[in-house]
């Protein structure tokens, strides 16, 4: 297998300046660089830069894929909309880590598969996942919980480690979150078990009345400042910042800390076993259905053949006289049907006598006799 690596970086909140684009071009002559992105793939060599540093300096999202099984995605958000401590509460291992700069928080997620990727084109993955960043910025903590589950799946935590607060809606992920789950190859059984204590997302949607009460409680000076920021239009995350603050004041998470890592893994294993058993039962039921259908079709075929045995024996004789292999095959198939009909109707001896006569008549046709032997005729 040839080597393949795919790198994609995206700037969301602010476009790259001309100077920044020149800096990136100096590191890669063949990358596709625009004011909002850097995309390159490698079948030899590697990126001449550190993705971690690039995320701190230039970009808000990063996706990496290699055909030996490595998947990686990183998202950068302003610290005003994602508290570094909140990110650190969920990103607790090698598969999911986070770190903070003076102005931002970066969440970095990894997935490894030793079997590698059969299909490893990287284009399109980041576009499908990127809207999850806006959801996280607006206070939706499901992405962070998925990051924690990734560490659980990687066996990076002690069995007695309690789970963090469980956000609402784990059982009904958004499209971008589902794309992230697929890209990171998160165990569906583990996710399903984790979602059992997650309350429905609609129950966590803030009402107009609760938003109104929260807004009225804000100091007038702060409201003035927020309106001014809105009018200046220089804060891309103002709405997300306010929603995140509201969520912090009225958390929508379900009860946390009730289950441990070991309990989740055990429950996921039991769910996998139940799924396998159900799959085997469904397969057996489907096999039985197909067998019954085949038997019924066979019976209908034999019923249609009954009463026409002499005509069919004559057809067999005619086809054999052609001395063509394909006609031999059709003749043998017809004889097999006549045999089945004879066995059903208790006329096996009569059938065998006619087959012996047939074999004696065509004893100098080895190709035909070979076919008869393989069909157990005579």
Joined tokens for residue 188: 């569906």
Last residue of a domain, one of 259, 280, 314: 259
What's the CA gap between 67 and 314, in Å, rounded?
Answer: 63
**DSSP 8-state symbol, 117:** -
Whether residues 250 and 310 share a domain: the answer is no
Residue 248 neighbours by CB under 8 Å, 6+ apart: 83, 139
One domain, residues 215 and 355: no
Residue corresponding to tokens 């607790």? 92
Answer whether residue 228 is part of any domain.
Answer: yes
**Is residue 287 one of the residues assigned to a domain?**
no
Q: Residue 366's domain spans which residues?
A: 306-374
The answer to whether 26 and 81 have CB atoms below 8 angstroms apart is: no
Residues 187 and 326 occupy one common structural domain? no
- CA nearest 75: which of 136, 31, 123? 136
Q: 185 and 126, same structural domain?
A: yes
Integer Cα distance of 117 and 8 in angstroms: 18
Residues 198 and 324 in one domain: no
Is there a domain that residue 148 lies in? yes
By CB atoms closer than 10 A (0-12, 13-18, 19+), residue 375 is middle
Domain co-membership, 239 together with 311: no
In a domain, 123, yes or no: yes
Residue 250 has pLDDT above 50, yes or no: no
Residue after which a domain boundary falls, among 235, 259, 283: 259
Number of continuous H segments (helices) and E segments (strands) in the chain: 17, 7
Burial class (CB within 10 angstroms; exposed 0-12, middle 13-18, buried 19+) of 328? buried
Q: Is residue 116 part of a domain?
A: yes
pLDDT of 249 strictly over 50? no
Distance from C-alpha of 88 to C-alpha of 104, rounded to nearest angstrom: 13
pLDDT at 245 over 60: yes
Q: Is the CA virtual torsion 288, 289, 293, 299 positive or negative?
A: positive
Let me know whether 77 and 136 are in one domain: yes
Q: How far apart are CA 257 and CA 126, in angstroms?
A: 32
Alpha helical stretches, state H, 322-376: 325-345, 348-361, 366-374
Q: Where is the domain boundary, 224, 239, 259?
A: 259
DSSP secondary structure code for residue 260 in this structure: B
Q: Look at 319 and 218; give whichever has higher pLDDT.
A: 319
Q: Is the pLDDT of residue 156 over 80?
A: yes
Domain check: are 171 and 29 in the same one?
yes
- Say if 173 falls within a structural domain: yes
69 and 145 within one domain: yes
Q: Phi, psi (5° rounding) for residue 237?
A: -115, 25
pTM: 0.73
Q: What is the pLDDT of residue 118?
A: 57
The reply to whether 211 falls in a domain is: yes
The total of structural domains in the chain comes to 2
Same domain, 89 and 206: yes
Confidence bin at 205 (pLDDT 50/70/90): low
**Could you tell me how many residues make up the chain?**
378
Same domain, residue pair 255 and 310: no
| Element spanning 71, H or E | strand 70-78
In 46-85, which positions are buried (b, 16+ CB within 10 angstroms) versus exposed (e)?
Answer: ebebebeebbbebbbbbbbbbbeebbbbbbbbbebbbeee
User: What's the whole-number mean pLDDT along residues 292-316?
Assistant: 91
Summary mean pLDDT of the chain: 89
Query: Quick one: pLDDT at residue 115?
Result: 77
255 or 227, which is more confident?
Answer: 227
Answer yes or no: do 254 and 335 share one domain: no
Is residue 110 a part of any domain in this protein?
yes
């Amino acid at each position: 297998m040839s080597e393949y690596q795919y790198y994609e970086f995206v700037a969301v909140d602010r476009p790259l300046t001309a100077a920044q684009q020149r800096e990136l071009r100096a590191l890669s002559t063949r990358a596709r660089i625009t004011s909002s992105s850097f995309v390159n793939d490698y079948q030899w060599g590697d990126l001449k830069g550190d993705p971690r540093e690039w995320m701190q300096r230039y970009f808000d999202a990063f996706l990496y894929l290699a055909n030996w099984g490595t998947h990686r995605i990183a998202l950068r958000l302003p610290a005003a909309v994602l508290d570094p401590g909140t990110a650190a509460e969920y990103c607790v291992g090698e598969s999911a880590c986070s770190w903070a700069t003076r102005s931002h928080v970066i969440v970095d997620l990894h997935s490894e598969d030793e079997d590698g990727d059969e299909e490893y084109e990287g284009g399109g993955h980041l576009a499908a996942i990127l809207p999850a960043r806006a959801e996280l910025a607006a206070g939706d903590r499901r992405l962070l919980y998925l990051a924690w589950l990734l560490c659980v799946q990687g066996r990076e935590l002690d069995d007695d480690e309690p789970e963090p607060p469980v956000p609402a809606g784990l059982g009904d992920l958004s499209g971008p979150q589902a794309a992230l789950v697929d890209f990171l190859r998160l165990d569906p059984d583990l996710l399903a078990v984790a979602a059992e204590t997650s309350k429905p997302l609609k129950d966590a949607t803030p009402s107009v009345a609760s938003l109104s009460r929260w807004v009225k409680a804000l100091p007038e000076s702060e409201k003035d400042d927020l309106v001014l920021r809105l009018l200046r239009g220089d804060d891309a995350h103002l709405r997300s910042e306010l929603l995140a603050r509201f969520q912090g004041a009225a958390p929508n998470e379900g009860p946390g800390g009730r289950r441990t890592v070991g309990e989740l893994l055990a429950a996921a294993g039991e769910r996998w076993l139940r799924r396998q058993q159900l799959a085997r039962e469904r397969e057996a039921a489907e096999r039985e259905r197909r067998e019954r259908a085949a038997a019924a079709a066979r019976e209908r075929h034999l019923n249609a053949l009954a009463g026409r045995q002499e005509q069919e024996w004559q057809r067999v004789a005619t086809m054999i006289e052609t001395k063509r292999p394909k006609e031999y095959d059709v003749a043998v198939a017809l004889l097999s049907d006549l045999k089945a009909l004879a066995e059903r109707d208790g006329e096996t001896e009569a059938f065998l006598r006619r087959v012996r006569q047939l074999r004696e008549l065509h004893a100098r046709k080895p190709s035909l006799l070979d076919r008869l032997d393989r069909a157990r005729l005579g």
